[in-house]
Structure 1
């Protein structure tokens, strides 16, 4: 009896120790919910990665999010009142240091020729920039039509003549190429320079099992006891990056204003930061109301951006050119702002993701955006499996039906296309009558910032203009962003939230 009691006591102690270990150590290899080991094929093989944190994609720089006053805070010279100031919050993200350059877009066109040129020449024609955007009835711009996009002299000048639809397609292509190279570099795939048509790598077809390519020597082991032994990488493995895309208007404006440069108590490795902003920038470079370099040295008086000082004055006088550029300048010209972003004012205006509406006070105050159109993958009705990829190697999508949207009971509105939500739809007080009373419809897209051919007024980040998504211009280019996943301060060795030592708790292990 005594031995039995001792045995029961030891069992109780062991059970208590097990439960304590689960709750206090929070071992990444053991489920805090069930106590089962992760990554053990003998226990079902639930695969959990030891995630090191999001890596910075090519060309990107980190933009820490936060609160700011979005909208036109300077004098509204056009009296349009189409960007009413309001306080919003923007999540952290990554943004291209520079505009997309001619050489970057030519790489895209080259890849399209190599992959689709033989069988789908119309795909290449659809992707090419409109080099005739330089033509003006009373200007001689034929050299720019012929050479600006193609000649090596302009390799690192911002690409222009790209419409909103083309910019989005470029971002999708770029996402696939970056993820493909990540898989190749880590040995999950082998290089394949001959892929064409439906056999090209696409991130979504790969993660959904419709692209295998040539497996590399490090292909992931499938821990599922009923699996095939090896498998493709998943987003849950932590290697694949989120998609590149156009920035929302709020993201672009937030990054351009760069109020972080006006915080004298920013967080460092030794101390926490404070919520202090001494001033709001008028221009991205931070000087209150000047467009010239102000420090007393050899650069004093030089223009800080590429813009048009006045009518007929594109670059100043010979021997002392004010901005040293008559058309767009190379993408690393002029001084970056406090986030390290170049040419957020001047050089070229830039497409953003939003659909244009003149009344802006109705947007959400967290990650504001107008332009949502909710899509889903097409599926086979009989078994609900994904449709086969199309002839270009992409998964087919469709817009959600009104019935599907209403069944969710969580979306605003009762339709999947919310571009005109509460501003142009049947329930709103506004109608635009495109082509009759206005030039506004659901394909009106916003572009931000001044160009080489604009006055300084447009360099204030709160200004906004619009064109149709299918239109392009010699003054409009674009840059891409990527969502930040995880801690908003950009540090991969920290988790979101505040922690206060052992007494206040601690973040879960990676």
Structure 2
């Protein structure tokens, strides 16, 4: 196979560089007239002028399965009485950047697709990769209940294809997000003609596609038709094919677990309460959210559908447990039509078009749990759990990939961070967490059940009371544990305009005329 060479290297979380200035002559980026830099006057995408490659301005496309969530400010935290006495969700106003989130929870069929790919690529040389990704189906067992059919059938039987996957740890959910990122970007490169589809059957072990390894020039893939063409931007100045970078605007940012703030913001769907969100209103809606919302579907706090629109009384908007022994209602009038998790699109979506943010299964989010994180965290893109990493380089100062084809990464050291203004440590999970130096150690299982492996869980489940359905409530579990009530969904960063595609950032005004 022919090895792709990179003209430039971008490692880490990619950001699309889409700024390109237009010359007076126009003609387009790849037309007869070369586009020129407004800073130097040199032409872009011209081998005779150095070959600096710049993509056309373009919007970020929406990845498979995602819904766009326009960011904004909101009051994060409790909307109900703190009946549990945790005092871990103190209301606080924060701002969340625009982002994408899965319309639904990850379903059994999605996770089985992931397992199939792991088995096909790694099972011969690294069978533990497949085995370690398997969900724990024994989470359905109980000492005093007959749940063996769910142990045997819930994950595998096609009747449950569209039901949310459970028995997945936080680590397994995070690995799924990484795999999904690579599969989506690989297909985008194939669709663009930069990679050959013949690579699909040739991938194994360390020659499996990884986005970061590909951009570093370490993936030994077969160039596609576009790479072999004579007129395109994916050429080095010497005419050899080059790998696409995030600057080319083809690949998408990584899928990942949503942060707690993102999840809660998406669950509330407050855009539906904003009078300025309607085109008919013709006005902006700052500071006009009408009330504090209890559940994810809007101002209908009772949780019952409107029977005047053709639905019978008692058909709930979420899958949850009403009281002891009541998981679905009475025969002939099942109120949520689900005794266990229901299909991922079974209930009413909120105004962002996102399903089951209240009920069905609770969900892992990215954050490390601390009771008072809402007070400690930033008021912009609040998050606790940063442990910064960078690309690993060997003794020859070269990048490497591991035996699974992924780019090797390493933790950022405190020495590398000491002279920075914005952070001074590589691992800041415990930042502002107990003492001036943040050197906190938790006696897990002795004095507390909280440590650095405790991850936040949001949203109620099919086996939870209505109290836990409120998006502001929060719980936690160890990242290497799993239950039959917890699943997950993925999120993705948004680059470009926070209002969505076809919108510009900032308020733009005409240039004022002045005498020269």
Distance of aligned partners of 1:411 and 1:23 in 2 relative to their CA distance in 1, 3 Å threshold: farther
Separation in structure 2 between the aligned mates of residue 429 and residue 157 of structure 1, nearest angstrom: 42
The answer to whether the aligner puts 1:411 opposite 2:425 as a matched pair is: no
The answer to whether the aligner puts 1:255 opposite 2:261 as a matched pair is: no
The answer to whether the aligner puts 1:354 opposite 2:367 as a matched pair is: yes
Unaligned stretches of 5+ in structure 2? Answer: 1-21, 30-34
Distance of aligned partners of 1:183 and 1:26 in 2 relative to their CA distance in 1, 3 Å threshold: closer
Q: For residue 297 of structure 1, report the CA deviation from its aligned partner.
A: 2.9
User: 1:139 — aligned with what?
Assistant: 145
Distance of aligned partners of 1:326 and 1:504 in 2 relative to their CA distance in 1, 3 Å threshold: farther
| TM-score, structure 1 as length reference | 0.90
User: 1:333 — aligned with what?
Assistant: 346
Separation in structure 2 between the aligned mates of residue 401 and residue 416 of structure 1, nearest angstrom: 5
The answer to whether the aligner puts 1:273 opposite 2:284 as a matched pair is: yes
User: 2:186 — aligned with what?
Assistant: 180
Q: For residue 426 of structure 1, report the CA deviation from its aligned partner.
A: 6.4
Separation in structure 2 between the aligned mates of residue 356 and residue 321 of structure 1, nearest angstrom: 36
SS at match of 1:350: strand
Q: Contact 1:46 / 1:223 at 8 angstroms: preserved in 2?
A: no
User: 1:5 — aligned with what?
Assistant: none
SS at match of 2:364: strand
Separation in structure 2 between the aligned mates of residue 269 and residue 224 of structure 1, nearest angstrom: 51
Q: Contact 1:53 / 1:486 at 8 angstroms: preserved in 2?
A: yes
Q: Contact 2:497 / 2:504 at 8 angstroms: preserved in 1?
A: yes
User: 2:219 — aligned with what?
Assistant: 211
1:283-320 deviation digits (Å, cap 9, x = unpaired): 11113421111351321421110000001111111111
Separation in structure 1 between the aligned mates of residue 330 and residue 503 of structure 2, nearest angstrom: 53
User: 2:175 — aligned with what?
Assistant: 169
Identify the match of residue 304 of structure 2 among 292, 298, 305.
292
User: 1:452 — aligned with what?
Assistant: 462
The answer to whether the aligner puts 1:473 opposite 2:483 as a matched pair is: yes
User: 1:379 — aligned with what?
Assistant: 393
SS at match of 1:230: coil
Identify the match of residue 264 of structure 1 among 275, 293, 297.
275
The answer to whether the aligner puts 1:244 opposite 2:255 as a matched pair is: yes
Q: Contact 1:258 / 1:281 at 8 angstroms: preserved in 2?
A: no
Identify the range of structure 1 (316-325 vs 283-292) with the bigger mean alpha-carbon deviation.
Answer: 283-292
SS at match of 2:74: strand
Q: Contact 1:375 / 1:397 at 8 angstroms: preserved in 2?
A: yes
Q: Contact 1:41 / 1:223 at 8 angstroms: preserved in 2?
A: no
SS at match of 2:173: helix
Separation in structure 2 between the aligned mates of residue 358 and residue 66 of structure 1, nearest angstrom: 24
Q: For residue 35 of structure 1, report the CA deviation from its aligned partner.
A: 1.1
SS at match of 1:180: helix
RMSD: 2.2
Separation in structure 2 between the aligned mates of residue 229 and residue 429 of structure 1, nearest angstrom: 52
Separation in structure 1 between the aligned mates of residue 338 and residue 88 of structure 2, nearest angstrom: 31
Q: Which is greater in Rg?
A: 1
Separation in structure 1 between the aligned mates of residue 331 and residue 82 of structure 2, nearest angstrom: 34
Q: Contact 2:207 / 2:220 at 8 angstroms: preserved in 1?
A: no
Unaligned stretches of 5+ in structure 1? Answer: 1-20, 506-510
SS at match of 1:123: helix
The answer to whether the aligner puts 1:398 opposite 2:398 as a matched pair is: no
